Amino acid sequence: MKVWSLGRTAAVLSATALALAACGSDNATGAAAGTDATASASTVSGTLTGAGASSQAAAMDAWIAGFNAANPAASVQYSPDGSGAGREALLAGGAQFAGTDAYLSDEEAESSLEVCGPDGALHIPAYISPIAIAFNLEAVEELNLDADTIAGIFRGEINAWNDPAIAGQNEGTELPATAITVIHRSDESGTTENFTEFLAAAAPSVWTDEPDGEWPAGLSGQENAQGTSGVVSAASSTEGAITYADASAVGTMGTVAVKVGDDYVAYTADAAAKAVDASTPVEGEARPELDMAMELARDTTESGAYPVVLVSYHLYCTAYEDQETVDLVKAFGHYVVSPDGQAAAAGAAGNAPMSANLQEQASKALDSIKVASPN
């Protein structure tokens, strides 16, 4: 059995993370939180260490509180360092799970075979949320914008709030000549990747860059900040600013209703969930059979769907070194996707709870996680 050292990512995570391993069989016996099992009956113990998407921060706080209450001998630690950092930590063997707003690339999926065994890493949807396009403009709470106009703004080609492209879609709204300040993520971010996927799919003639977790370096005259909280803080303190962030974090800033088909659709949890319903599975040789990574229909014209949405995953190995770790991973994973876990997250973060069908698929996938067998 091959074990990977945690020392390579000690700068990223606490050394309390357990080592991961490569192949497997068997399943968990621990009682998961969110079921009828009481805290006193729980046999799950140990520390589960994760890192990744800052978009999940509020939901993660709720999940950790609920899980710890039902499993007093267990604890979960999570560092919201960004999706890219989370995937890197898992693939380096420094975390037992990652939160990520973007699924593994084909290259990353191949790398996961070295860390997680012959079946690689497993994506479990955990958090579905609209990405708000948020702006700071006095006395303006909402604007209607089509995809081409949004792309033009974020490329710096539309640089004043009273530009005809904006004003023409917002008759009756008094728009100032204030300059537009674009604020984007400075770190590699799943939110950035999801947002640029929307721009590339829905406005291909304007947004000519490939979707990526890093903001295009060639776009000048823009500002940046670290993490979800960073861009929201910067935009909130800059008159005329616009940014993109998980909708749960934008506070009192104005937001954009996006044109989908013939209508402008404001972000809501239900509208985001409707866009997810149109998704298709991601395929690839290095992806396990029960993997739940999704391709989203960013250019949908379906009425009432909000396509600027992220599906944030929990990324687990399909095999771990020992039964205690498998039990802990499964118990936490099952709680997160359970009705109780989804309700706790929705109450804390305002995200869209997973459908019953997605919850069922996620539970089946979690059940497949095994103890690594000796090589």
Chain segment 12-68, per-residue pLDDT in tens: 333 223 232 333 333 333 344 344 434 556 789 999 999 999 989 999 999 999 999
Among the listed residues 23, 20, 22, 25, the one whose alpha carbon sits nearest the alpha carbon of residue 9: 20
How many other β-carbons are positioned within 10 Å of the β-carbon of residue 313?
33
User: Which pLDDT belongs to residue 269?
Assistant: 83
Question: Could you read off the pLDDT of 151-190 as tens digits, one per residue?
Answer: 999 999 999 999 999 999 999 999 999 999 999 999 988 8
Q: CA-to-CA distance for 141 and 162, rounded, in angstroms?
A: 15
Phi, psi of 223 (to 5 degrees): -110, 160
How many other β-carbons are positioned within 10 Å of the β-carbon of residue 138?
9
Cβ atoms 320, 363 nearer than 8 A: no
% of the chain residues with pLDDT over 90: 74
* Residues contacting residue 148 through CB under 8 Å, at least 6 positions apart: 165, 203, 205, 206
User: Which pLDDT belongs to residue 16?
Assistant: 28
User: What's at 33, amino acid-wise?
Assistant: A
Among the listed residues 318, 327, 249, 332, the one whose alpha carbon sits nearest the alpha carbon of residue 78: 332
Phi, psi of 10 (to 5 degrees): -60, -30
User: Which pLDDT belongs to residue 169?
Assistant: 98
Say if strands 254-260 and 263-265 run parallel, antiparallel, or are unpaired: antiparallel
Q: CA-to-CA distance for 357 and 61, rounded, in angstroms?
A: 25
Four-CA torsion 323, 329, 330, 331, nearest 10 degrees: 100
User: Which pLDDT belongs to residue 33?
Assistant: 38
User: Which pLDDT belongs to residue 20?
Assistant: 29
Decide if pLDDT at 342 tops 90. Answer: yes
Mean pLDDT of the chain: 88
Question: Could you read off the pLDDT of 107-160 as tens digits, one per residue?
Answer: 999 999 999 989 999 999 999 989 999 999 999 999 999 999 999 999 999 999
Q: CA-to-CA distance for 264 and 272, rounded, in angstroms?
A: 14
Spell out the SS3 assignment of the chain.
Answer: CCECCCHHHCCCCCCCCCCEECCCECCCCCCCCCCCCCHHHCCCCEEEEEEECHHHHHHHHHHHHHHHHHCCCEEEEEECCCHHHHHHHHHCCCCCEEEECCCCCHHHHHHHHHHHCCCCEEEEEEEEEEEEEEECCCCCCEEEECHHHHHHHHHCCCCECCCHHHHCCCCCCCCCCCECEEEEECCCCHHHHHHHHHHHHHCCCCCCCCCCCCCCCCCCCCEEECHHHHHHHHHHCCCCEEEEEEHHHCCCCEEEEEEECCEEECCCHHHHHHHHCCCEECCCCCCCCCCCCEECCCCCCCCCCCCCEEEEEEEEECEECCHHHHHHHHHHHHHHHCHHHHHHHHHHHCCECCCHHHHHHHHHHHHCCEECCCC
Question: Could you read off the pLDDT of 57-100 as tens digits, one per residue?
Answer: 999 999 999 999 999 999 999 999 999 999 999 999 999 999 99
pLDDT band at 304 (very low <50, low <70, confident <90, very high): very high
Mean pLDDT of all residues in 211-228: 94
In this predicted model, which residue has the larger pLDDT, 246 or 256? 256
pLDDT band at 375 (very low <50, low <70, confident <90, very high): low
Q: CA-to-CA distance for 299 and 260, rounded, in angstroms?
A: 8
Q: Which two three-digit tokens encode residue 79? A: 């560092």
Question: Could you read off the pLDDT of 266-288 as tens digits, one per residue?
Answer: 999 889 888 887 788 998 888 99
Mean pLDDT of all residues in 345-366: 91
pLDDT band at 359 (very low <50, low <70, confident <90, very high): very high
Total residues belonging to the chain: 375
pTM for the predicted model, two decimal places: 0.75
User: Which pLDDT belongs to residue 276?
Assistant: 85
Q: CA-to-CA distance for 180 and 160, rounded, in angstroms?
A: 5
User: Which pLDDT belongs to residue 9?
Assistant: 30
User: Which pLDDT belongs to residue 353?
Assistant: 87
Decide if pLDDT at 320 tops 80. Answer: yes
Cβ atoms 320, 116 nearer than 8 A: no
pLDDT band at 6 (very low <50, low <70, confident <90, very high): very low
Decide if pLDDT at 11 tops 50. Answer: no
Residue that is written with structure tokens 């604020």 in the block:
183
User: Which pLDDT belongs to residue 223?
Assistant: 97
Checking phi first, is residue 372 left (phi over 0); if not, alpha (psi -120 to 50) or beta?
A: beta
Decide if pLDDT at 232 tops 50. Answer: yes
